[in-house]
Structure 1
Amino acid sequence: MKPEWYQETIVERKVTYTLEIEGQFFIIENVPARVCLETEERFFSPEMVERLQKIIWEKGRPKRTIETPVYEFL
């Protein structure tokens, strides 16, 4: 339980959304979200989630492609 004086501060921000599906990573930049300043938790509207899913499932031409190194935690 949070102390009585605790107050979350939520602000509108543009964030980078990432998702991994079957070993393939998707990165979507500049996504509008509500972000908690204390926890950095991101909240997306239902409409935004639908748009993100559409972008990923349609697999259109990306703005750019990046190479990402993968490490194993030992």
Structure 2
Amino acid sequence: MQETMIDTQVTYRVEHAGKLYVIEHVPARVCQETGEEYFAPETVEHIQSIIAGHARPVRVIETPVYDYA
């Protein structure tokens, strides 16, 4: 059976407390067949600490929001 998982870096997006957070260069294992992303527990903890600690962002982007209706 061929391994379909690769180690790479992804851009992680999450909404928390009404704000959208984008974290770039997050280490992940990604399934080449499905695109599913898997994160180590310490990676998830680090993402949570970035958001909870209100770390200074490297840049700020403006994002349009649309209503599907």
Q: Shorter-chain-normalised TM-score: which range?
A: over 0.9
**Correspondent of 2:36 among 24, 33, 41:** 41
Give identity over the alignment, percent.
Answer: 52
Q: Distance in 2 between matches of 1:60 and 1:52?
A: 11
Q: Which runs of 4+ in 1 moved over 2 A?
A: none
Equivalent residue number for residue 70 of structure 1: 65
C-alpha displacement of 1:8: 5.6
Give the TM-score normalised by structure 2.
0.93
Give the TM-score normalised by structure 1.
0.87
8 Å CA contact retained: 1:8, 1:37? no
- 5+ long unaligned stretches in structure 1: none
Structure with higher Rg: it is 1
C-alpha displacement of 1:21: 1.2
Compute the RMSD of aligned alpha carbons.
Answer: 1.3
